[in-house]
Chain A
Amino acid sequence: GAGVSQSPRYKVAKRGQDVALRCDPISGHVSLFWYQQALGQGPEFLTYFQNEAQLDKSGLPSDRFFAERPEGSVSTLKIQRTQQEDSAVYLCASSLGFWDNEQFFGPGTRLTVL
């Protein structure tokens, strides 16, 4: 496909479970971003990769959140020991890699922690 894809689209986890969310960016896009969107709020930045390098992880809310992009393409956001406050839509975006390039967003993964 031509766009950013994310899987799964929906995830239900019991509190304390670990989850892994996948993002497939647009081919050739250097930059990859993860955002978290709580209900009724705008997306909030979590972390940013340029190729395989994680250049900014200032938005990760706790050390339970971990992201990787080992080969500079697909990225995984992992949340350990999920809590109810982690319930949100997790959005992935990619861009060509310059600050003013358009970011293309995926449809998001809706995580519900029970």
Chain B
Amino acid sequence: DAKTTQPPSMDCAEGRAANLPCNHSTISGNEYVYWYRQIHSQGPQYIIHGLKNNETNEMASLIITEDRKSSTLILPHATLRDTAVYYCIVRSQGGSEKLVFGKGTKLTVNP
């Protein structure tokens, strides 16, 4: 699976959009981009995933660049409860079910 690079930390004001970047320059054609987050003292939680089209669900939007070498997770109206570590993970279609986590981005939402 391709390696991902994320900034170690980011801050966001409550009510504003949080844009979390992820670089995956070695991604291959059958690899999906997944996002999970982990709130303090809890297990990770699935957010969203995509292949090449932008995706949106009730939690977030995922924007993948046309060359698929990077992506951005967008929380449109961040709340204090969105403070967490966000993990960007690349997974091969039909590959191993296991998740390979990096260090993620610690997002702090400030009042």
Distance between A64 CB and nearest chain B CB, rounded to angstroms = 21
Per-position 1/0 for A81-109, Cβ under 8 A of B: 00000000001010101111111111110
Main secondary structure of the interface of A (DSSP, over half): loop
Complex contact A42–B98 (CB within 8 A): no
Complex contact A103–B46 (CB within 8 A): yes
* Interface status of A65 (Cβ within 8 A of chain B): no
Contact of A48 among B87, B91, B97 (CB under 8 A): B97
Complex contact A105–B43 (CB within 8 A): yes
* Range for the number of chain B residues in contact with chain A: 20 to 34
Cα–Cα, bound, A6→B41 (Å):
13
Interface residues of A in 1-55 (CB under 8 A from B): 4, 31, 33, 35, 40-45, 48
Complex contact A43–B49 (CB within 8 A): no
Complex contact A42–B103 (CB within 8 A): yes
List B residues at the A interface (Cβ < 8 Å).
32, 41-46, 49, 85, 87, 91, 93-104
A-B contacts besides A4-B43, A93-B44, A103-B97, 18 pairs, CB < 8 Å = A33-B98, A35-B101, A42-B85, A42-B102, A42-B103, A43-B44, A45-B98, A45-B99, A48-B97, A48-B98, A97-B97, A99-B91, A99-B95, A99-B97, A100-B93, A103-B99, A107-B41, A107-B42
